[in-house]
Amino acid sequence: MTLLKPLLYFSLFRYPLTEEELYTYSEATSKEKAKEELDGLVKDRIIYKINGFYLCEDNPSLIDRRLKGNKMAEEIYAKAEKVSKFISKFPYVEGVGISGSLSKGYYDEDGDIDFFIITSKKRLWIARTLLILYKKIFLLNSRKYFCVNYFISTNALEIDEKNRFTATELLTMIPMFGNGSFHEFYEQNEWVHKFLPNKKLNDRITKLDPVKKPVFTKLTEGILNTRLGDFLDSFFMKITFKKWKVKFKSLEQEQFNVALKTTKNVSKHHPMNFQRRVIERLNEKYDEYQKNHNIHLTKEYA
Model confidence pLDDT, tens digit, residues 42-96: 999 999 999 999 999 999 999 999 999 999 999 999 999 999 999 999 999 999 9
Domains (ranges, CATH) in the chain? 4-59+277-293 (1.10.10), 70-271 (3.30.460.10)
**Angstrom distance (rounded) from CA 244 to CA 257:** 11
Minimum mean pLDDT among 140-154, 183-197, 201-215: which range?
Answer: 201-215
pLDDT, tens only, 254-302: 999 999 999 999 999 999 999 999 999 999 999 999 999 999 999 999 8
Residue type, 51: N
For the entire predicted model, the pTM comes to 0.95
